[in-house]
Amino acid sequence: MSQDVQAILKNLGIENKNYGAFDGEWFGSGETISVTSPIDGKVIAEVVQATEADYERVLEKSQAAFQDWRMMPAPQRGEIIRQFGMEFRRHKDDLGALVTLEMGKILEEGKGEVQEMIDIFDFAVGLSRQLYGKTMHSERPLHRMYEQWHPLGVVGIISAFNFPVAVWSWNSAIAAVCGNTMIWKPSLKTPLTAIACQKIAHRVLQENNLPSAIMGMILGPDAQIGEKLIADPRIPLISATGSTRMGKRVAAVVGARLGKSLLELGGNNAIIVSDKADLDMSIRAILFGAVGTAGQRCTSTRRVIAHESVYETLKARLVETYAQVKIGNPLEAGTLMGPLIDKDAVDNMQSSIAKVAEQGGKVICGGEPLSGEEYPGGNYVRPCIAEVENHYNVVQEETFAPILYLMKYSSLEEAMGYHNNVPQGLSSAIFTKDMQEAENFLSHRGSDCGIANVNIGTSGAEIGGAFGGEKDTGGGREAGSDAWQAYMRRQTNTINWSPELPLAQGITFG
């Protein structure tokens, strides 16, 4: 391990052996796992996982912390969140590098993810003074009616490997400013960034004489810790980010106990390229959307639906552009695409590419695994472009890898049919200079996704808007706008300040 990497780990408090449970203290009594980097396959550090008994300890501390945290005025909670943002600013470079080292996205994206976390903390500070209710007119004389919002309790946060710090912050910043405490279950593929975040948050809470269990963590196997978390009636809300398969399991278990679930699941995102599009702009957006994070974003561009008059030109230019993508160590300057997260991801990509040919499609460039001295021990692949038809089973699925499916259309109605005819509904885009086409895409008969863009790609959403999607994407909303309401319970209040007791609807009783 290089001196630079050792310095980064030291700065963030990552030791050779770390513990996966946190309630103000670090502990764990489960099996030890080795955390390897997808860059070169080398071990970064070890983590001792938590057990079900460890879970109980974390939950009890989090419940106790909630009793006082909920009663702190929201603007004061916002001040604590402001300090989180300042502390994460001080560690942006180191934490961004750890994201890259552990997950494999290029350094520019790693730092960008940390900036996204800082941005959501800033957003939550302002939100702390905007948890608005409404006042309504009562039909009864001398009565006042209004609604207010209360914190839920302990919120469970399940995050995926591809955004190992941002997804936690989207949830934790908003949940905390709303008065909740939380237990975070990060991915076993990226535990070190989670531990680093917890240590940074712990310092802020400690400096303010607040219980660190406000931000608890439990790291362990899905079959034990994950199942216990989602089935626990003491956890009123589970916010889970991951695959559709995982989301359906969470929804079923949480729904069976009438809990709340906030789900951010798979995407099968498309860009429509009109004959009235700026092709230069379209290609730049497609490249970042399909190749950025090695295709491992839920908002990655999976499909391009191009007008038949520009299809061949667009295809040729994309193939030419893909040939120039520098693949390699994501910590090095100039690299545009790093490795996939693990060998399973590489195998899944190869399986999907094989299905393209079986189902009648054609791979026109890339797709092969990369090895040799230039890619020692890592999970590197060449990004792939394939010509397909939208109805192929492989196109209907989400493969978490840099595979881009190309298809052509003749009318906007046909394009929208292809666009919406997939199970997922997260992010979408159209490139056109035609106002009617753009407005059609954004209308009731247009994109059925939670995010719809014009002349912007599918990837890289801002935190100010609510983030999430429809259909198999789960229907949840995180981050900005009024997404905070998911982390609170609504209460309607009526106050009678008259000497009488009139009933609603004019009912006379007795």
pLDDT digits (tens, 9 = 90+) for 379-392: 999 999 999 999 99
Tell me what the pLDDT averaged over the chain comes to: 97
The label of the residue with tokens 């992010």 reads: 427
Asked if residues 45 and 15 have their Cβ atoms less than 8 Å apart, the reply is yes
- Biggest CA-to-CA distance, the chain: 90
Q: Using the predicted structure, report yes or no on whether residue 436 has a pLDDT greater than 60.
A: yes
Of the pLDDT bands very low, low, confident and very high (cuts 50, 70, 90), residue 476 is very high
Count CB atoms within 10 A of the CB of residue 86. Answer: 12
3-state secondary structure of 409: strand
Any residues with CB less than 8 A from the CB of 484 and at least 6 apart, and which? 127, 131, 174, 177, 178
Task: Kindly list the catalytic residues.
Answer: 264, 298
Nearest CA to 35 out of 161, 209, 125 is that of 161
pLDDT tens-digit readout, 187-220: 999 999 999 999 999 999 999 999 999 999 999 9
Query: Is it the case that residue 2 has pLDDT exceeding 90?
Result: no
260-291: pLDDT as tens digits = 999 999 999 999 999 999 999 999 999 999 99
Residue 454 and residue 442 in contact, taking contact as beta carbons nearer than 8 Å? yes
Beta strands in 143-208 (DSSP E): 143-151, 154-158, 181-185
